Amino acid sequence: MKSWLTPFLVLALAGAAFLLFPYNLAFLTRILIMILLVLSLDLVLGFAGIATLGQAAMYGTGAYAAGLFAVHASGNPLAGLLVGAFAGAALALVSGLLLMRTRGLTLIMLTIAVASLCLEAANQLRGLTGGADGLRGIRMQPVLGLFPFDFAGQTGYWYALSVTVLVFAGLAVLTRSAFGLSLRGIHESPARMAAIGVSVYWRQVAAYTIGGGIAGIAGALAAQITQLVSLESYSFTISAEALIMLILGGAGRLYGAVIGTVIFMVVHHVAAANDPFNWLFVIGALVLFVVFLVPNGLVSLPLAVTRLWKGARHARA
């Protein structure tokens, strides 16, 4: 397949979604924000192999940072995004200095602990964050001074789409670089990376920090577009759902993060509308299907089907 064809198709789909579902733009925007978060998780977990269930820590911190910046400093969206990215990266760097010294289950537990600490801190600092009532009073200026946020969410959608596309392109460059190759190496065999002279620890801290910055951007977008930050942004559910989306789509592939998020969110949306009590059953069945039949995620489904088809023809011949 031509290298420009896939991005072109995906962008065309994003454009078509805008035209086809004009009353669901808030939902579509929510998907884009989750794609950003899952992309950040893909870099950290899918590429660098850092087991984490606490990506919400950086997401929430980005959201609160951008929200507070908008309330107290400036409603400039792009400046707010930078603040969110910086806050997410800073938290990832500081916590990463400790976290990247651990492995496996310990690491997973500690990532959950960091997110829980953030949640509790945001809950206690009521004067600053609004506590359980959420952070209110976010007023955004027009994007680039040209596009004011509208009630239908059109600006929000295009704004989120532009940011997602830029981050995706940045990650595409990053994951193909020498740095990206070294992250895949660490994922495959940390001992070998040390043996070729790499300080695995610092390389993982770097990856975790970049991932934290992207998660911070996702949180900042959420804060700016919904103009509200709630304690939910730090919730374990967000970290866990992001992980499920990544596994569904295919970890270690950027398009895997996109596909997994879109499918999870759409299935969730449709199933929950049909049966508000048992929608989780559909998600569970989907995850089982993927884990057993397409373990490399739905992004590898076309390849798996092609192989099956060729295999069947070989068997008949």
Partner 1 sequence: MQGLEVRGLSKRFGGLTVSENIDFDLPPGARKALIGPNGAGKSTFANLVTGILRPSSGEIRFDGSDIGGLDEPRRVKLGIAKTFQITTLFRKLTVRENLRLPILEREKRGYSMFARAGSSPETEAEVADLLEQFELTAFADRPVGLLAYGQQRLVEMAMTLALRPRVLILDEPAAGVPSSETHLIVNAIERLPKDLAVLIIEHDMDLVFRVARSIVVLVAGRILTEGTPAQISADPKVRELYLGKSHG
Can you give the binding site for partner 1, defined by CB under 8 A?
Answer: 173-174, 176-182, 184-185, 188-189, 191-199, 203, 206
Nearest to 67 by CA among 228, 231, 235: 228
Beta bridge partners of 143: 147
Nearer to partner 1, 96 or 156 (CB): 96
Q: How remote is the C-alpha of 245 from its chain's centroid?
A: 9
Name the 3-class secondary structure at 151.
coil
Nearer to partner 1, 200 or 265 (CB): 200
CA atoms within 13 A on the CB side of 312: 6
Min separation Cβ 190 and partner 1, Å: 9
Name the 3-class secondary structure at 103.
coil
Nearer to partner 1, 178 or 315 (CB): 178
Min separation Cβ 180 and partner 1, Å: 7
Min separation Cβ 252 and partner 1, Å: 9
End-to-end C-alpha distance for the chain, whole angstroms: 28
Min separation Cβ 205 and partner 1, Å: 12
Asked if residue 234 lies in contact with residue 57, where contact means CB atoms within 8 angstroms, the answer is yes
- Residue 117 makes CB contacts below 8 A (sequence gap 6+) with none
Min separation Cβ 296 and partner 1, Å: 10
Min separation Cβ 101 and partner 1, Å: 14
Question: Concatenated DSSP letters for 31-88?
Answer: HHHHHHHHHHHIIIIIIT----S-THHHHHHHHHHHHHHHHHT---HHHHHHHHHHHH
Nearer to partner 1, 199 or 306 (CB): 199
User: DSSP assignment, residue 142?
Assistant: P
